Amino acid sequence: MARARMGLDEVLKNLKVAAVPRAEEGVRAGLTTRSAYGVSIPTLRKLARAIGRNHLLAQRLWEIEIRETRLLAGMIADPDQVTVELMEKWLAAVADQELCDQTCMNLFEKTCLAYSKAVEWSSRPEEFVKRAGFVMMARLAMNGRQMVDAHFLAFLPLIEKEATDNRLAVRKALSWALRKIGKRNEYLNEQAIVVALRLKQMENQSARWIAGDALRELQGAAVLERLGSRGLVS
């Protein structure tokens, strides 16, 4: 699909053409957004590449409360134009895991606010705001080439502090963040394992689940071989 300057009407037309009606029911079953066309993420990414960065169009798409328009908005918005107000407004409207994760990885993690928002959101009470904080930590651990160990060491106490949150969406994000930090290098692997071992000793079911999920990967042969570490023994 060649890149072209698309207006809102043309984008909506493209979404409707790409819709798979039989997929719509399944999409709705797993999400809480009001409606959905039934367009796959790869198809949305293809459309986003054709549109290119268009911050104004992204904001107009977000205001249409449809799964695909909001996912596409995060794909084409300009990270350099993202403000604190926009991040908070968009995140307040998120009510499912897919939109939370996609908006974080496609847009929020690319902004200059990514680190500070990861820290701030991790202690917020709202389910998908808190999840977003730990998703951002995971994504920064994966892609933050200019970041140093100290940035990620600062995340570990936040993960440990929130590990008793029993909500599934939060619990999975906590594990994801801990695992990605622990896979960044040998030293962070050791520190993440120390945290996981402490969580393993807690009475809380969520904390113990996070510990088990993280330790399986962080102490696994594949990770330890890649990092050149024998790890810590539980």
Q: What is the pLDDT of residues 56-90, one digit of tens each?
A: 999 999 999 999 999 999 999 999 999 999 999 99
161-173 pLDDT, tens per residue? 999 999 999 999 9
Kindly state the tokens that stand for 119.
């820290």
CATH 1.25.10.10, the chain: domain bounds:
113-228
Residue 31 has pLDDT above 50, yes or no: yes
3-state helix, strand, coil in the chain (%, to 5): 70, 0, 30
pLDDT at 192: 97
Return d(Cα 87, Cα 98) in angstroms, integer.
16
> Which of the residue ranges 1-10, 61-70, 163-172, 220-229 would you say has the lowest mean pLDDT?
1-10
Q: Which amino acid is at 80?
A: D
Query: Which amino acid, 20?
Result: V
Residue 32 has pLDDT above 60, yes or no: no
Mean pLDDT of 190-206: 97
Confidence of residue 22 (pLDDT cuts 50, 70, 90): low
Tell me the CA distances in angstroms from 211 to 20, 163, 176, one per residue in order.
39, 9, 11
Of 214, 221, 219, which is closest to residue 180 (Cα–Cα)?
214
What phi and psi, each to the nearest 5 degrees, are found at residue 146? -90, 0
pLDDT averaged over every residue in the chain: 91
Q: What's the chain's Rg over C-alpha atoms? A: 19
- Amino acid symbol at 229: S
Return the pLDDT at 229. 52
At residue 204 the predicted structure's pLDDT band, cuts being 50, 70 and 90, is: very high
pLDDT, tens digit, 9 for 90 and up, residues 115-172 = 999 999 999 999 999 999 999 999 999 999 889 999 999 999 999 999 999 999 999 9
Confidence of residue 233 (pLDDT cuts 50, 70, 90): very low
Taking residues 34-43, what's their average pLDDT?
Answer: 88
* 88 close to 120: Cβ distance less than 8 angstroms: no
Domain at 113-228, CATH from 1.25.50.20, 1.10.286.10, 1.25.10.10, 3.40.50.1000:
1.25.10.10
- Asked if residue 1 has pLDDT above 90, the reply is no
